[in-house]
Chain A
């Protein structure tokens, strides 16, 4: 047991730095992908065919590409085009671009749960497309989006570990260091799992809070 604790206490700064970067990656990519994903979701439900086509193509291309490949593209291929992207930025861009495709689909499915009569009634009252979306449809759609949205965000938090392979010292890079220090891998991985559980807890609590807040009697 004491060895288990020592694995953490002897390398406190490494764990701190690793999980610190994981949180930073997550927060930036979460904001980025929520903004981009919402925009794409709006495209997919918009009345303009070109925008619908763009949204659909984005989702089909990005969602079907492995995340590691998105990272590799940004880190190994983009520099060949003389674009300078530092590794942390590349990681946040990769996570944002990838996660946005999933967020877009969550938004779209949420919008689809709102009865068409709602939007028709709003239009009959003379509301514009923007108004219909922001005043009538989205507030109702948000409710059903909460659980899948949290799943996407939790998956993204764990996906940040791919960045370890692309020169970002986050939680996923800790095992490589610890192996070199000769620390038992089992304990190291156990601590990393515990770390992720701790990071995910606030997301789960947030989901519960939002579900309760937006709950309606049907």
Chain B
């Protein structure tokens, strides 16, 4: 009996191990084969098709961050990883989205090939600490410019102006904006600012407020008709709509303003001016529009470049 059990255990373990081994072998081939054309194998994807080449003549005098990038030969960028078409890391390990491509654009303009970016996933609560401590060179990830944060870090941009909006099913016609939510079930991340706004402004009844840890859980409930709307910044919602444009749409009536900036070291004014110039150039030459159309624009909601705010 004892021997038999050991044998069963050994067989199970061997089977499990063979499965793992198989998975490890399979993955690199799959992702390697997926890289298009002659592009070097990297963990980033460019869904917009914007070709970025490192600007070898880049120079930012008097910027300690730039000097650090120059000597390291790479940029270290803080990003999000759980926002589809915005800041996302897929199952194959590839990073895609609007914020990611903005980060790549900035890296190229700083003279570093986007393939050489080292991405760091920094949770919202740790962003200031990571920038102040020099753990990252810059941060691109739905980072709202606020006066409180300006005390700790500097912002280039805004490169995108978002606002709280509503994601609904494609066939929804009753929900036209925040004032049409009465009697509708509204979902967002547990305790987040958007859901607290819904509660405080009594946009719907307390029993119709639904909260999950992640937006993707809310989206799943929306598709299953358990909730009627998902609410947060429209940039995030557009990302989900772009993933499933046949079934989802963004209402397009934002009821708050969030200006997304690129987080930089507080005292690095030289770098801030330089990055601002580069963003402005991207607004003007159509690069920004191309990146938007290839990522969040797939949701069917158009957008135009915002106005830069230098301070």
Contact = CB atoms under 8 A, between A and B. Distances in A.
Interface of A: 75-76, 79-80, 87, 164-167, 169, 173, 176-180
Contacts of B193: 180
A48 B190 CA distance: 48
A80 B223 CA distance: 10
A173 B226 contact: no
B211 A169 contact: yes
Contacts of B192: 176, 180
B209 to A, nearest CB: 8
User: Which 3 residue pairs spanning A and B have beta carbons closest together?
Assistant: A176-B191, A177-B191, A176-B190
A87 B191 contact: no
Given A164-B190, A176-B191, A177-B191, 18 more contacts: A76-B217, A76-B221, A76-B224, A79-B224, A79-B226, A165-B190, A165-B212, A165-B213, A166-B212, A167-B187, A167-B211, A167-B212, A169-B211, A173-B190, A173-B211, A177-B190, A178-B191, A179-B191
Contact of B210 (A87, A164, A178, A180): A87
B28 to A, nearest CB: 31
Nearest to B210: A167
Given A79-B224, A79-B226, A80-B224, A173 B212 contact: no
B191 A180 contact: yes
B220 interface: yes
B1 interface: no
A73 to B, nearest CB: 13
26 contacts: A76-B220, A76-B224, A79-B221, A79-B224, A79-B225, A79-B226, A80-B224, A87-B210, A165-B213, A166-B212, A167-B210, A167-B212, A169-B211, A173-B191, A173-B211, A176-B189, A176-B191, A176-B192, A177-B191, A177-B196, A178-B191, A179-B125, A179-B191, A180-B191, A180-B192, A180-B193
Which DSSP category, helix, strand, loop or mixed, fits chain B's interface?
Answer: mixed
Interface residues of B, number: 18
B212 A180 contact: no
Contacts of A180: 191-193, 196
A179 B196 CA distance: 12
Nearest to B193: A180
Contacts of B211: 167, 169, 173
A165 B189 CA distance: 10
Nearest to B189: A176
Interface string B225-257: 110000000000000000000000000000000
Nearest to B196: A180
A169 B195 CA distance: 13
A125 B186 CA distance: 63
Of A76, A80, A87, A167, the most chain B CB neighbours within 10 A belong to: A167
A177 B191 CA distance: 4
A75 B212 CA distance: 11
Nearest to A180: B191
Of B190, B217, B224, B226, the most chain A CB neighbours within 10 A belong to: B190
Nearest to A88: B207
